[in-house]
Structure 1
């Protein structure tokens, strides 16, 4: 007989495999293939590890990595919301809260509480770790769209002000990344791959 917590953890591990099937709108670097949520989360976690030195203040990088690895698990139930969706708010929804309760609820109680608290901290965007994680979550699609010569910006007629608004998360946590992102946006307008408003 196996311990109950192990069986709960295995059930969670099996359930989260479904994240590999959640397709995002953004495409892989220099590619026509859309990224899935698992690839996105893995990439963000590595980005955070590599770019942590650019945070304006000390951050707990392990907590940031945890946030990035679990932040989109709710999309197993709620689905992915496109960053530039004009009909559905990209912020936390009741549907995502219900998904968090179900998915994290598969884990043993203490672990479920920890994961849900980390997810809620990410969504609240108040701590340095949550701000840095959010910065990574917004930087990746910027880099992808630049690499794809406009990518989803052109596909969905996204303009300069929309991109700038979504990228305004960097300033609060990393002056360096903020300057880099804003320069990339400006260069994208000048190159004609991002529509000027």
Structure 2
């Protein structure tokens, strides 16, 4: 039984290596290279570790980190959907739910059930942990775009209203970080890297 579990865990580890090949629209800080999903997930987990003191309420940091490390694994099958995409909803949950069952299903049943539950909790963004994790997920691309003189905002013609609407959910996880983010958005308009 133990060797069977180990084999399944190794298969999962091999499978999730594919996350390194899923490119996002957002570019790395001060760079023209697209970030991949694995880099994004790692960066968010580290951000949560550093910024957890700014959460609106005390959160279970380990659960937040788990959410951030696994939240985009479904994109191995479903692909990355640009948050400002006009054609496809960013909340393509049915496609992603199917991917979650397949990919997490490679694991032993107890681990699969735990990770699917954590992934679903993140997607539903109702718990304090999910709200803080989501705040990290929305903050990182904002930091990247401001470091890249507008980055994907300029590239895809994204305006202030769209950015503000997508980023204001940060306040559900951290009002402190939201005030910082809001200032970055306003500064971006002043600098001319985000059109109003």
**What TM-score range do you get, normalising by the shorter chain?**
over 0.9
Range with bigger deviation, 165-174 or 20-29: 165-174
Match of 1:10 in 2: 10
The answer to whether 1:127 aligns with 2:131 is no
1:24-58: per-residue Cα shift (whole Å, max 9, x none)? 00000000000000000000000000000001101
- Residues 104-143 of structure 1 correspond to what in structure 2 (within 5 A)? 104-143=104-143
1:158 is paired with a residue whose SS is coil
Match of 1:98 in 2: 98
1:78-122: per-residue Cα shift (whole Å, max 9, x none)? 000001101111114211010000000000000000000000000
1:3 is paired with a residue whose SS is helix
Given that 1:92 and 1:123 are in contact with CA atoms closer than 8 Å, whether structure 2 keeps it comes out as no
- Residues 54-73 of structure 1 correspond to what in structure 2 (within 5 A)? 54-73=54-73
TM-score of the aligned structures, taking structure 1 as reference length: 0.98
Name the CA distance, whole Å, in 2 between partners of 1:48 and 1:92.
25
Given that 1:122 and 1:130 are in contact with CA atoms closer than 8 Å, whether structure 2 keeps it comes out as yes
- Residues 174-185 of structure 1 correspond to what in structure 2 (within 5 A)? 174-185=174-185
Given that 2:135 and 2:172 are in contact with CA atoms closer than 8 Å, whether structure 1 keeps it comes out as no
Name the CA distance, whole Å, in 2 between partners of 1:133 and 1:172.
10
Name the CA distance, whole Å, in 1 between partners of 2:54 and 2:146.
21
Given that 1:104 and 1:115 are in contact with CA atoms closer than 8 Å, whether structure 2 keeps it comes out as yes
RMSD: 1.0
Given that 1:67 and 1:122 are in contact with CA atoms closer than 8 Å, whether structure 2 keeps it comes out as yes
Name the CA distance, whole Å, in 1 between partners of 2:92 and 2:126.
14
Structure with the largest fraction of helix: 2
Range with bigger deviation, 160-169 or 90-99: 90-99
Match of 2:156 in 1: 156
Structure 1: give runs of 5+ residues left out of the alignment. none
2:83 is paired with a residue whose SS is coil
Question: How many residues matched?
Answer: 196
TM-score of the aligned structures, taking structure 2 as reference length: 0.98
Name the CA distance, whole Å, in 2 between partners of 1:169 and 1:153.
18
Match of 2:31 in 1: 31
Dislocated runs of 4+, deviation >2 Å: none
Given that 2:133 and 2:173 are in contact with CA atoms closer than 8 Å, whether structure 1 keeps it comes out as no
